[in-house]
A = this chain, B = another copy of it.
Amino acid sequence: MNSFKPLYDTEEIKKVRLGPFYKYYPDAEKEVKHLEYDSFLLDMNSNEKKIKTHEIAMKIAQTGVLRVEELRDQPLLFLSKLMNLIKLDMNVLAKFVIHYQLFGGTILELGTEYHHKIYFDDINKMKIVGGFAMTEMGHGSNVRNIETIARYDFQTQEFVIDSPTPSSTKFWIGNTSRYGTHVVLFCRLIFNNEDKGVHGIIVNIRDMETKEIRPGIELGDCGPKIGWNGIDNAWIRFSNFRAPRLNLLSRFASITESGEYITKLSSPGKLFQITISQLVMGRMLYIVGPPAYLNVAIKNTFRYAMQRRQFGEKEKPEELLINYPTHYQTLIPMISNVFALEFSRNVIVERFPESKMPDKADSYNAIIGGVKATVAEYAIQSISKLRTMCGGNGFSAYSLFGYMRDELEVFQTAEGDGTVLFQQLTKHLLVEYRKWYKKEGVKGYIIKEVQSFLDTSNPYYTHSRSIPYLISDEFHLHAFVFRFEKQRSILITKLSLLKSKGLTFTQSWNESLLDIQKLARYYTQLFCLESSYLCVKKCVDPGSRSVLSNIVKLYALTNIENDFGFYRNANFLSAGKALAISDAIRDLCVQLKPFIFELMEESFGLTFPDVPIGSTSYIKNMSERVGIPPYSSKL
């Protein structure tokens, strides 16, 4: 095997991988590093875990290291701090995210100066512990239909809050069943017998002195979960509970002292959109965590594979796991995927201001949803795979695969279920396409189709399998664009056909869900590829850029390979070309193998302490961990 190691500059690669975080990282590190943390909270029941999580979180919060205002003033610094805190147990991080970002961030965005002044100091030090009370037993991702109501009482200038049905019981409300003092409650405002739609109200659920639950509220714990057992998720039911008028988060809609409902927004629907768009910051956090964990999981698997020997030639030492193609042809493409996900995260983070621009917010929110759904799913599946690649030693809780998988699990459905987010993305893509079509007209459409037809029906093109061509960015980008556009055309044809059969729009849409999901996935992959190109282009050192570029090529090719069925069915590839792609993948893996692991580690050296399989000697480290005494031969 070729063991040529190219010249690259680790710091340059780190710069590109961290992207917008790079310049905040040292400051974040400084702020965070004096904190002492315990190691991961393994092997606890949920009661023990809740106690320990709270204890650690309070200790850290009281140092003032995290501040709600930073979400507005220095969001990248805030995120960089969280990234630096990854050695904390995920439960502690989750508690912070719920408290600072979901609870605090909502007050920041939907509240006014009045609320900020009253609450922020106490939130920053966690004197107030906050939750985000949106989900109900009957409604998760479909927030628009939540049932909890707040009837405005003109007399007392209060909201009277009620849970009108069993299914309106708030459920899964984090930070609330045991330690929370407040929640931002999402409910329908009934004003003058009129349903004004979903509003957010700050509700103080426990007496600040006695910590007793306040009258009119019943709440309890939701029980154990797959992960996040350190979080005290609650069910909450309201009965004739009263909250003062000024607790309404009133930036976009308020009630005056004289009993007037005032809003600049045209409709409850518009208000709902603005309210819900606050979830964007949360989704951004959800994009940051999984690749970070996956980095660690890959690194540990690699280190184990560099020590562990299994089978091999007779009379020779057994072979290292890393030298088996089942190992390196899984690990290296996985690294290329992690890089692509990091690059898409960087672009999303850089474009975060767009989330507030009226003409760009829709597009931004749509793609962030697609990436969020993709990242969580990919990370969990990959971590599961990595665990089996470490055999029995992957099964040890100390290897952290189980920990990472379980703690990431909720990322797949919280703050937007993947299936729903993909639908939102596709809806946006179709709206955009309609706009384009209106502008370009039939003529533009035909030109485009003809071009695509010419490209792909050209036998030279579908058969061409020269290596330089197969590994060219041009080919990859075309393949991704083609797949997306082809799938869009398949979907539009299907929707039209169903509509022509007399189905309503909703019926046609639902019937086409599999194609809808596919389109969103394809677009997200395209976004990852384009983001990768954007990020790699920024790399000023030619050697480093060339290495990164090869990693992106591997990402693109494995992605195409995983979808050979689609490409072949669409006549985009000949059989021979497809097989040549598989060969090119193997060659890229062999070429990258001698240095990519080192490169990955050095350019973003996330380390979890004390993982035996991730240490230089897993036998020694594992022995220490489980109390096997040092070996002294008596033979």
Nearest chain-B residue to A46 (Cβ)? B43
Q: Which of A95-103, A116-124, A234-242, A357-365 makes up part of the contact surface?
A: A234-242
20 residue pairs A–B, Cβ–Cβ below 8 Å: A43-B46, A138-B309, A142-B310, A142-B311, A166-B631, A172-B392, A222-B396, A225-B395, A227-B395, A235-B626, A237-B628, A239-B634, A323-B510, A325-B510, A326-B513, A380-B384, A388-B413, A388-B417, A392-B414, A402-B409
Closest 3 CB pairs of A and B: A564-B565, A226-B402, A568-B568
**A239–chain B nearest beta-carbon distance, Å:** 6
- A167 in contact (CB, < 8 A): yes
- Shortest A18–chain B CB gap in Å is 30
CB distance from A72 to the nearest CB of B (A): 29
Contact residues in B for A165 (Cβ distance below 8 Å)? 631, 633
Q: CA A312 – CA B137 in complex, angstroms?
A: 18
A513 near B325: Cβ-Cβ < 8 Å: yes
In the complex, A312 Cα to B226 Cα: how many Å? 29
A51 lies within 8 A of chain B by Cβ: no
User: Are B504 and A628 touching (Cβ within 8 A)?
Assistant: no
Give the Cβ gap from A611 to chain B, nearest Cβ, in Å.
12
> Do B325 and A511 touch across chains, with their CB atoms under 8 A apart?
yes
Tell me which residues across on chain B come within 8 A of A226, comparing CB atoms.
387, 395-397, 401-402
- In the assembly, how many copies of this chain are there? 2
Chain A 386-413 interface residues, beta-carbon cutoff 8 Å to B: 387-388, 391-392, 394-398, 401-402, 406, 409-410, 412-413
The residue in A329, A575, A625 that gathers the most chain B C-beta atoms within 10 A of its C-beta is: A575
A321, closest chain B residue (CB): B419
Cα–Cα, bound, A441→B391 (Å): 41
Interface residue? A218 (CB, 8 A): yes
A312, A313, A325, A570, most chain B CB atoms within 10 A: A325
**Contact B135–A392 (Cβ < 8 Å):** yes
The residue on B at minimum CB distance from A137 is: B619
* A625 & B223 in contact (Cβ 8 Å cutoff): yes
A45 at the interface (CB under 8 A from B): yes
The docked-state distance in angstroms from the alpha carbon of A631 to that of B48 is 31
Known contacts A313-B504, A575-B568; A43/B224 CB under 8 A: yes
Taking A225-B395, A622-B137 as contacts, is the C-beta distance between A326 and B514 under 8 angstroms? yes
Q: Is the CB of A402 within 8 A of B413?
A: no
Q: Which residue of B lies closest to A144 (CB)?
A: B311
Say yes or no: is A569 at the interface (Cβ < 8 Å to chain B): yes
Known: A417-B388, A634-B240. A223 touches B318 (CB 8 A): no
User: Within the assembled complex, what's the spacing in Å between the Cα atoms of A384 and B43?
Assistant: 22
Name the contact of A391 in the complex, choosing from B43, B141, B395, B513 (C-beta under 8 A).
B141
A319 within 8 A of B: yes
Max chain B Cβ within 10 angstroms of own Cβ: one of A237, A622, A629: A622
A138 nearest in chain B by CB position: B619
Contacts of A162 in B (CB 8 A): 634-635
With A224-B397, A319-B510 known, 12 other A-B pairs at CB within 8 A are A135-B392, A166-B628, A218-B628, A223-B397, A224-B396, A224-B398, A227-B402, A325-B512, A388-B417, A395-B413, A564-B565, A564-B566
